[in-house]
Structure 1
Amino acid sequence: MSTTDALIQYRRDIADLKQRIKNRRLQVIGLYGTPILLVSSVSVGVIGKVYFWLHSDVPSAITNIFGGFLAFCVLATVVQFFAEFSVDTPWEDAKTSLKSLRLDLELAEERRILEARRLTPPAIERQSSYRERLPGEIARLRVESAHYRRLHLFMQWLLFVGSAAVSGVTAWYDPPQPAKGILIVLGSIVTVVTAASGYFKPRERAFNLQQTADSMEQHITALELGIAPYNYVDDEANMESFATTVERLRAEQRMREQQLDQPQQGQREVI
C-alpha cells in the first residue's frame, strides 16, 4: 500500500468511527429515553385523570391520542430492546459503550498521527499537494461570498419595501385603522432587518471572502505561469513562498472574520 493510500485509509477509519459514535449515541438515547418517556407519560396521564377528570370521563379525543402515543412508546421500546439484546442484532455496536468507541477513536487518531509522521513525504510534495487543494478552497470562498451577497441584497430589498410600505400605508389610511396592525408589522420588519444587517454584516463578509478568493487565485496563476513573485529558478523556493503567502492570506481572512464577529467597540480596539 502506498503512502497516500495508507493515510487515506486512516482517515476513512476515523470518519467511520465518528459516524459510529453518532449512531451509538442516538441508539443509547432511544434505548433509555423511550422507557423514561413511557413512564413519564403514564404518570402525567394519571395525574391528569386525578386533577381534571376524577369524577368524569376523559374526552374520547384525548384518550385516543394518549393511547396512540403510549402504544407507540411501547412498540419503540420493544423494538429497541430487541435490536440491542438479540443474538442477531441489526445494530453494529450493540452492547458497546460510548466510552469504548471514543477510546477507539482516540487510538485511531493517534495511529494516524504516528503513521503520518513516519510516512510524511518531502516538503516539496506536500506543498504541491497543498496547491492542488486550493481550487476547492477558492470555490468554497466564492460560494460563501455569493451567499452573503444574496443575503445582503435580500435584507436591503426588505428594508426598501418595508420602508416604502410604512409610508404608503400611513398615507393611505386616515385614521390609521385598520392599518395599525400592518404598520406595526412593517415597522418591526424594518427594525429587525436593520439590526440584523448591522450585526451580521453580510456585505462586508461577502467582500472579504471574494477578495481572499481573488488574491489566492492570482497567486495560483502567478505560480503556474512562473511570473513574479514566483520566478525563482528553484521550484522549491517558489513553492515555499507560495505556501507562505497563501497561509498569510487565509490568516488575514480569519482575522477579518473575527473582527466582524466582535462589537464595534471591540473592533476599534483590535484595529
Structure 2
Amino acid sequence: MAGKDDNSDLLLLNQQLLVVQELIKRARKRERTSAVALGAGVLVLIFSVACWFIFPAGQKFTISVLALLVGGLSLAYGILARIRPGAVANSAERDIADLEEARRYPRPELELKFALLREERRTSPGLAAIDHKLQFKEDIVDYIDELRIKGTRNRRANHAVQVTTIVGSLAATAISSLALALDVLRWVSIFLTFAVGVAAGLAAYFKFRERSFYSQQTANAIEQEVASFNLGIGRYKRYGGEESNDALVEFLQEVHRLQVEQKNREQDLDEPARKSTDGE
C-alpha cells in the first residue's frame, strides 16, 4: 500500500509540474505580446504625428486620427498586460496544481512554484530508490526546453534589430533627400538615424545572433543524443540497444559535456570585448 501511495504522489507531482509549466509558457507569451504591442503603439503614434505634417490638409486629419486610434489601442493593451502580467488558470488546472484562487499568476511566482515542485519530486519517497543518474536524465528534457526558449527569444531580438537597422538606414537616406523640401522631415531623419544607431549598438553589445545560434545548436545536439540513446543507435549500438548502466553513464557524460560547453560559450559572450594583444 505504501508503494502505491508513493507512486500516486509521484504521478500527481508530475501532473502539477506539467500544468505549472504550461502556465509559465502562457505568461511568457503574454509578456512577448505586450512588448510587441508597446513597440507597435509607439511607432504608430509617431507615424500619426508625421502624417499630420506630411499629408495634404484634406487627408492628414483622417489618417492621423485613424493612426492615433490604432496606436492608442495598441499602447493600452501593452500597458494593461504590463500592469497585469502572468497567466490565468482554469478550474481544472487550479485543482491539479493546487492553486488557491482564480486570479492572474505572475511568471516569477509560477517559476518559484515550478522549482519547489521539482525539488519536492526529487525528495519524493517514490523516487527514493531511483538512482540520481535517472533523475538527471529526466531533467534533460526541461533543459532542452529552456535552451529552445532562449534561442527563440534571442533570434526574435536579432531579427528586430536587423530589420530596424536595414529599414531605418534606407528610410533615413530617402528622407534626408526629401528634407531639403520639407523642414519637418529633418527631425524624422534624425530620429531614424538615432534608432539605427541604437539597434546596431544593441546587436553588437548583446550578441543576439550568437546567443541564439549556440542555444539552438546545443539543444539540437542534446536532442540528437537523447534520440540515439533511446533507440540504441550510434555510439550506443554496441550496448545491444538496452539501457544498460554503461550506456547510461556514457550518455550522461556526453550531455554533461555539452552543458559545460554551452555555459562556457554564454560566459564568453557575457564578458566585455577585449582587444587582441597579439604582436604587441
TM-score by length of 1: 0.53
Name stretches of at least 5 consecutive residues in structure 2 with no aligned partner.
17-119
3-state secondary structure, aligned to 1:153? helix
| Compared CA separation, residues 151 and 183, structure 1 to 2 (3 A) | same
Q: Number of paired residues?
A: 171
CA contact (8 A) 1:173 1:179 kept: yes
3-state secondary structure, aligned to 1:165? helix
Question: Pairwise mapping of residues 136-175 of structure 1 onto structure 2 (< 5 A)?
Answer: 136-174=142-180
Find the counterpart in structure 2 of residue 250 from structure 1: 259
Say which is worse superposed, 193-202 or 143-152, in terms of deviation: 143-152
Displacement of 1:185 in angstroms is 0.9
Counterpart Cα distance in 1 of 2:10 and 2:275: 42
Amino acid corresponding to residue 244 of structure 1 in structure 2: Q
Higher relative contact order (CA 8 A, sep 6+): 1
Question: Pairwise mapping of residues 186-265 of structure 1 onto structure 2 (< 5 A)?
Answer: 186-231=192-237, 232=239, 235-265=244-274
Counterpart Cα distance in 2 of 1:224 and 1:268: 47
Find the counterpart in structure 1 of residue 138 from structure 2: 132
Amino acid corresponding to residue 244 of structure 2 in structure 1: D
Amino acid corresponding to residue 136 of structure 1 in structure 2: D
3-state secondary structure, aligned to 1:257? helix
3-state secondary structure, aligned to 2:169? helix
| Compared CA separation, residues 150 and 179, structure 1 to 2 (3 A) | same
TM-score by length of 2: 0.51
Give the greater-gyration-radius structure (CA): 1
- Aligned CA RMSD, in angstroms, stands at 3.6
3-state secondary structure, aligned to 1:264? coil
CA contact (8 A) 1:170 1:176 kept: no
Find the counterpart in structure 1 of residue 79 from structure 2: none
Deviation track 1:228-269 (CA, whole Å, cap 9, x = no partner) reads 322325700010111111111111111111111111218999
CA contact (8 A) 1:163 1:190 kept: yes
CA contact (8 A) 2:155 2:209 kept: yes
| Compared CA separation, residues 264 and 4, structure 1 to 2 (3 A) | farther
Amino acid corresponding to residue 241 of structure 1 in structure 2: E
Name stretches of at least 5 consecutive residues in structure 1 with no aligned partner.
13-111
Say which is worse superposed, 151-160 or 230-239, in terms of deviation: 230-239
